[in-house]
Structure 1
Amino acid sequence: MATSPLLAIVLTGLRRKMLHGDHERIRKLELEVAQLRNALGKQSSVDGSTIVASPSTIRDAPKDTPPALWAHPSGAFMNTDEIARLKAAENPMCFRSRYHGPHNAWSSLKEMTGIAHFMKETADEWLRPLNIQKKDRGKRKLDREKKFAEPDLALESLLPSKEETDSLVAVYLDQFEQLHRIVHIPSFRKEYESFWDLNHTRPASSTALVLSMISVSCCLGMQTSSKFIGVKSSAHALAEKWVKSCDKWVNQQSHKHRGLVHYQIECLLYLAKKVNILKKKRFWITSGGLVREAITIGLHRDPDSILADISPYNKEMRRRIWSTIVEFDLQASFDLGVPTLINQVHIDTAAPRNIDDDSFDHDSIELPISKPRSEYTFSSYAHFSRQSLPVRLELFKILTGPPIDLDFEQILQYTDMVTHEIDALPAWDLESNQSSGVSHKPSLAHTLLHIQLRQFLMPLHQPFLKLRKSHSKYQTSEFIYYTAARDLVLMHDRLSQKGIRTLYFLREDSISAAMNLCNVSLLQPKGSTSLINVNNKETLQLVEKCIALKEDRVLRCGNNDPWGYSSMCAAYGLLETHLGIRTPEAAKAQAAERFIGLHYKLLSYQVSIDGQQEAQPDSTAQQPSSGPNNFIAANAYPATTLVPPTQLAPTPLPREGLPLSVPWSLPQTDLSQLLVPNPDFNFELLGSDLNDLWGDLSGTDFI
């Protein structure tokens, strides 16, 4: 039977579609086989924390296999050219590596057949006769190394005495290095010993490293009797001076020729800014800049697969610096409620090993195997924090990504993910190490590992708090929200009772926890028998603990974040009003009294600037001591005189219109009378105006 032309065309088209479909299916099967082959070629890292592709897998991949799947099962494009472009010199400049993805111009150049031969012939025939000299790389390297070893007298002039520096360095190494691994402690101690040798030339990088390190611990190492000018302590002013000087030095350094010490200094400077609340609005921008710098040298790629020729010591330090930068960016993103750059990065760097620093050094041939999870080391936080990274990144996508409607059951699933990660954390005995002479070592890392997971429970359940009135099932969200905030306060308070202030200097949990506790308590109907409402007395105590933590920080650093403290006082007063403990008028007065009282404490530690006010002679006046506090006061404000609280002399200046620059010239006041608010009191005398803070919250910038 004859086939019509139209039918023949249709059948031909169908055959072509079927043939095309077969090709598509075959192509997909080939890709799946390549993926399976790649997965089988993978092996677990030594500590079991991540999976990395073995070099043999990449080498043995079939030539016709799309290079996109050789090393990345998720389908991201990557090939061996990417590894070839990651070049690194050996110790000490292993951080001079440069990472380029497979889509840059050099990839296209390399793909051009014969380009290298063509360029070489052109150079031999046309350029060499013109006697065009190459760069004298040897001389340039010697000049660069000579300059790198030279001292910086401007930075050295900022150094405290050896006794003071030793104390602040010890505080940093004992506290912060348990969390964010930036230096190798034995190597640093060895270099630090020669740092004070008069016969030894101090390289500028070593001075910048020490200054940035003690900037982190400056305010923690001081007593609460630190001297103040205005609302900032002299310790804070000195830390700020050190940070600015080191920042200036870093900005003058070449980005092409950088070593490990440059990235250590940058991490320490970021840490110092966080602890001292310097340029708070730039934290997220700065941490994002650190992430970008780390990516440009390939820290997100595991050195075992791309930099096999460098020493085990340098490999581990690369992993530690990357881990530190990741945690910086994650927390900065969470605090601001914005996306993290880490979510856009393919990471295969293994977690830092759970090993002690004295178990390896520059000369180690191989790294020791990670210790069991039951054994605590200074690297335990960095090691175990990596385990929860995928879950935390997933939560960031939910909280800061495109708006999506999540139902209550999905939120409970995410809550279960967080709870599962918390349960998987190691259960160290927080007290046993104290009896063996180790100073609270597990407590700090244990607390931060828990806090950085529990903090996600509150934003996850916050949208459902106000839905409690419409459906009883949302009572679960109230309970989870309240319990998470309560746990944060109790964990910080437990550290505070041990004299460990590191975390509430490094984080703002005291403010967020206080606000969240008050928020969920204010949503409870009056007279309700809910667990939260019945527990209101403990809630007030928890908020009091938060305020006490903030007060301690203010008395060491100064009230350079007045929004936080004043808002906590207001929230506490509002909760008291809601619970019927105080009348609105009494609660407002109490909130103002707290704010005033704290500032008067700061005024009692004031120093006066020469030429503005002179201390009255007093035979009982306290003389400046030669201890650390006197050093900080004298060096933070060189032209100042210490003024004991008893010598805050009366002044003929009226209360109204007193200049902000001389808040310590207040009329002498009996501190016992502060419980009675003065309606004529001008908050501008204290360096803050509550009309600006509390007067109009519309459009307020809380950061």
Structure 2
Amino acid sequence: MSEPSYRSESTPPATESGDREDHDDHGDHGDRPPPRKRQRVRLSCLECRRRKLSCDRELPCSRCLQSGTADRCEYETRPGLAPPNKLGLSQSALTGFDSRLSLPGTAGDLLLHRKDAREAERIRRLELEVAQLKGMLAKQISASVDGSTVVDQSPASIEKPETGPELEILLPSCLQVKDPGADKEVRFYRGQEFKNRYFGPHSAFIAFIELTGLCPFMKETSVEWLQPLHVHNKKDRKKRAEDREAKFRQPDPVLEVLLPSKDETDAFVSIYLDQFEQIHRIIHIPSFRRAYAKFWDPAEPRSAASTALILSILGVACCLNSQLPQKFDKMVSNTHSNAVKWIEAVDEWQNRQSQKHRRLIHYQIACLVYLAKKINTIKKKRFWKGAGAMSQDAISVALHRDPTLLNNKMSPFTQEMRRRIWATIQSYDIQAAFDFCLPTIHGTLSYDVEPPRNIDDEEFDEDSEELPPSKPTTEYTFTSYQHLSRQSLPLRLQLSKVLNAGVGELDYDQVIRYTNEINQEIDSLPSWDVNEGGDGEVAKKPLLAYTLLHIELRQYIIPLHQPFLRLRKTHSRYQYSEIIYYNAARDMVLLLDKIGQQGIRTLNFMREDSLTLAINLCSVTMLQPRGSTNMIMINSQHTLQLLEKCLGMKEDRMLRCGNNEPWSYSIMCAAAGLLETHLGTKTAEVAKAAAAERFISLHYKLLACQDPPVSSQQSQLSGGEQQQLGGNSKTTPSRTGTPFQHPPSSLTEMFNRSKSVTPFPSGSQGGGGIPLGSTPGALFGGGTTGQTVEVPGTPWWLPNSGDPSAVSQMQLPCPTEFTLESLGLNLNELWGADQFENWDGSWGGE
């Protein structure tokens, strides 16, 4: 085979004989220089010459095709020769080859040669494209195996040739790369509804999916090799699903026993729907009512999950019933004891459930159980960890991702309920982080889920094909709180991060800036008609959502400005901190008192604002010098009224729940007495007496509600003592053997009783406890004998309180010997000086 030549037809190659003839014609060789030696044309391509490899002298050559460098395959040109065309080189080479052979032919033969040339060119172009695709695919597979990072060379980023569909046939199915843009769903999400799992982008599961061809390869191997050998045992998924469904519908005898009567359950369910579902949207009210009606139908099966849901609702609402007085066992009410039993039973049932096959009702139960624990103050030191665990559980099922991006098969009802459950869990965690001053998991979390729509439950149900559009924020719905709370979420997360980082890193300009941003968020909140009732079965309470939206923003003002209160004495610049601090605490107390006037006790049980706000008001007021004419001291009498409102909220909660926590109430009583001493309205002795009298009177009310009642065994007292203790009073022996006066038979009798005596009557000395004849001031170190104090009575919003002006003058009888041992308390542990020496930051209990 002759080598192809790239010479021009106008310059034929010279021959050796021609050279000799030229030399001979010229005669003498000495007169001319010797002839220049002719250089031979290098026929290998430049790339093969560089790599010192043999070349087949094609365009592109086989070496360049194999190495994936076909675009660099070029040949050397000589001066005077036409440079080869990269795109049409093969055609010109064939043309030159035909002309060199000088084959005679007709016009038809010439057309045949041209057609063959075009076909050869098309074949070579296709071979070049196939070689490029093979090289890119080999690089992608090697990068997936060794984990290296390569530039994105996916088929979507490469210009597809005209023969693309034909090329797919050349690759096996396990090596074909799927276009990632074809699937719009989130790649890290697997499952449907609430039975799913969310994986991060670098998890092992995602690494398996990213390994090109692994899943098809395993599937083909299973079909071709394992099934014929009967090694592959396919699960009967349909039967397993039927078994799970049958197990889910079975009742739980342990939970069934704890259910109260239908009438009592109906009352508690009404309280929950009326006071809690307008804040935390946990259940869908219309669908719940239908399920609740079937729950009491004997012909309908009663699943264990539905029973657990009802018990968790009872645990939330049982202590908020309007009946007073309640029955107590020592310092714990019977309703609180029932709530503890229900919550513990549901907790045990939850721990036995599968973490893989869960439904909406399981997340609803988890949210209700956490809320019930917070209202009843059960294991309060675990609130922050419990809220964080719920957040982690929600993230693992992708509740933080927008449901429209997860699965196209998810119903609109499920999408909206996922948004509501996520908003509830998020509010739990952020508030727990603020209360404990600890970080929140949501501070560093990236989420794209939309807030719940501002719509009522009657506008959609399980069969809805499309959700209604969200209403404007000026129109109140049951979901308005969750919808509007999302607006201030970025600011609250930023403030949580700032406060946890330490206020020492904040300068005063930043504090002012954050305060202004909080006020802007507050000003942007809508003002609804607080008298709006609605036409539904549950009356709308806009004031409840309005109050909580304001409080969850104002609460951040207090810790922001607290470090600068004491700097007021050194620089007048910080006077703004005193005023904004005082105003924030005052406004929150007034908001809570306003909803208390409407009989809404939801926030009083959900939060500990009555304690913290009372301490804050006392702190900022006591920093002012006595006799000062600034705004805080001018409003000192108003501050004392605010403290009375806080004490009234705490008393109401203890009379309904008890929960064996007298620490917070005793601290509030002492703080009020300390402030009165600072203001000069009372001497130190009288203030101490008033604090002790208030504390003791509350526990007398608890003692009057004991179930079973305290024994009415008569004691031998002198006539003078009986007369001094008040007429027909009964006495009961204490654990120390000394009799003490039995309180009135009911709270109404106690509240309506009016008398003017010293808090601790004088008389003979008793064994143990407070000695007779001492004044209240002697309880903490002596005082003047015979002083009388006015004890604030029951707050106006308690039943049977009578005239509010007369309530403040009511006096409660005091025993010959007072001891709280019958209630399981120790005064020295509550009020002793060593109580706070080793204080760990908790208020007692677990």
- TM-score range relative to shorter protein: 0.7 to 0.9
Seen in structure 2, the aligned counterparts of structure 1 residues 341 and 648 have a Cα distance that, compared at 3 Å, is farther
User: TM-score, normalized by length of structure 2?
Assistant: 0.66
Report if the CA contact (8 A) 2:376-2:659 is conserved.
no
* Helix, strand or coil at the partner of 2:708: strand
Partner amino acid for 1:675? P
Q: Secondary structure at the match of 1:87?
A: strand
The Cα shift of 1:125 comes to 5.2
The structure 1 residue matched to 2:456, chosen from 346, 350, 356, is 356
Instruction: Say if 1:219 and 1:557, in contact at 8 Å, map to a contact too.
Output: yes
Q: Does 1:115 align with 2:214?
A: yes
Residue of structure 1 in register with 2:574 after alignment: 474
Provide the residue aligned with 2:194 in structure 1.
95
- Partner amino acid for 1:686? L
- Alignment of 1:163 with 2:263, yes or no, is yes
Deviations 1:212-264 (A, max 9, x none): 01110000014121100010100111111110111111111000000000000
Q: Say whether 1:682 aligns with 2:819.
A: yes
Unaligned runs of 5+ in 1: 1-59, 65-77, 618-645, 657-664
Following the alignment from structure 2 to structure 1, what is the Cα–Cα distance between the partners of residues 539 and 831?
Answer: 42
Is 1:527 matched with 2:627? yes
1:626 alignment counterpart? none
d(CA) in 1 for partners of 2:537, 2:223: 70
Task: Report the equivalent of 1:83.
Answer: 186
- 1:455 partnered with 2:555: yes
Q: Distance in 2 between matches of 1:367 and 1:595?
A: 54
2-structure distance, mates of 1:518, 1:576: 10
Specify the alignment match of 1:699 in structure 2: 838
Contact 1:326 1:342 in 2 (8 A): yes
The superposition leaves residues 91-149 of structure 1 with CA deviations (integer Å, 9 ceiling, x where unpaired) of xxx11121111010012222223322442344345533144422222211111100100
Specify the alignment match of 2:315 in structure 1. 215
Which blocks of at least 5 consecutive residues in structure 2 are unaligned? 1-153, 159-180, 715-727, 745-749, 762-768, 772-817
The answer (yes or no) to whether the contact 1:82–1:101 under 8 Å persists in 2 is no
Aligned residue identity for 1:162:
K
- 3-state DSSP of counterpart to 1:177: coil
Could you tell me whether the CA contact under 8 Å between 2:503 and 2:563 is conserved in 1?
Answer: no
Deviations 1:395-429 (A, max 9, x none): 00110136652221110100001000000101112
**1:651 — aligned with what?**
733
> Which residue number corresponds to residue 563 of structure 1?
663
Q: Aligned-pair distance for 1:615?
A: 6.8
> Do 2:713 and 2:733's aligned partners in 1 also have CA atoms closer than 8 Å?
no
> In structure 2, do the counterparts of structure 1 residues 648 and 686 end up closer, same or farther at CA, with 3 Å as the change threshold?
farther
Task: Tell me if the contact between 1:319 and 1:350 (Cα under 8 Å) persists in the aligned partners.
Answer: yes
Letter in 2 for 1:338: L
Amino acid of the structure 2 residue aligned with 1:574: L
Deviation, structure 1 residue 348: 0.9
Flag the 1:136–1:559 CA change in 2: closer, same or farther, 3 A: closer
Partner of 1:342: 442
> Runs of at least 4 residues of structure 1 off by over 6 A?
78-82, 434-438, 613-617, 670-674
Residues 15-414 of structure 1 mapped to structure 2, 5 A cutoff: 63=157, 83-89=186-192, 94-124=193-223, 126-128=225-227, 129-401=229-501, 404-414=504-514
Name the CA shift for 1:262/1:407 in 2 (closer, same or farther; >3 Å): same
2:736 counterpart letter in structure 1: P
Matches of 2:669 and 2:521, distance apart in 1: 34
CA offsets per residue over residues 603-624 of structure 1, 9 Å max, x none?
1000129xxx76779xxxxxxx
Deviation at 1:692, TM superposition (A): 1.9
Counterparts of 1:427 and 1:607, CA distance in 2: 46
8 Å CA contact 1:596–1:674 kept in 2: the answer is: no
Q: 1:255-302, CA deviations, whole angstroms, 9 ceiling, x for partnerless residues?
A: 000000000000000110111111110111111111001000000001
Does structure 2 conserve the Cα–Cα contact (< 8 Å) formed by 1:95 and 1:297?
yes
CA RMSD, 1 decimal: 2.6
Larger relative contact order, structure 1 or 2 (CA cutoff 8 Å, min sep 6): 1
SS at match of 1:84: coil
The letter for the 1-side match of 2:696 is I
Question: For residues 338 and 149 of structure 1, what CA distance do their matches in structure 2 show?
Answer: 41
Q: Could you tell me how far 1:203 is from its partner in structure 2?
A: 0.5
Q: Deviations over 1:172-206 (max 9, x none)?
A: 00110000000000000000011100111100000
**Percent identity at matched positions?**
53
Residue identity opposite 1:139 in structure 2:
K
2:594 pairs with 1:494: yes
Which amino acid letter does the alignment assign opposite residue 679 of structure 1? I
Work out whether residues 451 and 488 of structure 1, in 8 Å CA contact, stay in contact via their aligned partners in 2.
yes
Contact 2:561 2:581 in 1 (8 A): yes
Asked if the contact 1:82–1:102 (Cα under 8 Å) also holds between the matched residues in 2, the reply is no
Q: Is the Cα contact below 8 Å between 1:655 and 1:682 reproduced in 2?
A: no
CA contact (8 A) 1:181 1:324 kept: yes
- Letter of the 1:699 counterpart: N
Q: Does 1:668 align with 2:742?
A: yes
Within 2, Cα distance between the matches of 1:63 and 1:587?
81
Q: TM-score, normalised by structure 1?
A: 0.80
C-alpha change, 1:543 and 1:554, in structure 2 (3 Å) is: same
SS at match of 1:98: strand
Change (3 A) 1:446 1:409: same
Q: 2:650 aligns with which of 550, 560, 573?
A: 550
SS in 2 for 1:582: coil
Give the Cα–Cα distance (whole angstroms) in 1 for the partners of residues 216 and 446 of structure 2: 35
Give me the whole-angstrom Cα distance separating, in 2, the residues matched to 1:317 and 1:392. 24
Q: Write the letter of the residue equivalent to 1:299.
A: L
Structure 1 equivalent of residue 606 of structure 2: 506
Contact 1:224/1:556, CA 8 A, preserved across alignment: yes
Partners of 2:207 and 2:182 lie apart in 1 by: 13
Distance of 2:185 and 2:563 partners within structure 1: 44
Greater Cα shift, 671-680 or 536-545: 671-680
Answer with 337-346 or 484-493: which moved more: 337-346
Aligned residue number for residue 422 of structure 1: 522
Name the amino acid aligned to 2:511.
Answer: I
For the residue of structure 1 that corresponds to 2:414, the secondary structure is helix
Give, in whole Å, the separation in 2 of the partners of 1:604 and 1:383: 45
Higher helix share: 1
Report if aligned partners of 2:269, 2:317 keep a CA contact under 8 Å in 1. Answer: yes
CA distance in 2, matches of 1:79, 1:299: 24
Structure 1, residues 21-74: CA drift from partner, whole Å, max 9, x if none?
A: xxxxxxxxxxxxxxxxxxxxxxxxxxxxxxxxxxxxxxx99759xxxxxxxxxx
User: CA shift at 1:464, angstroms?
Assistant: 0.4
The 3 A distance-change label for structure 1 pair 82 and 518 is: farther
Aligned partner of residue 416 in structure 1, secondary structure: helix
Aligned length: 588
- Aligned-partner Cα distance in 1 for 2:203–2:424: 28
Alpha-carbon contact 2:532-2:541 (below 8 Å) kept: no
Taking the aligned partners of 1:530 and 1:312, their CA distance within structure 2 comes to: 57
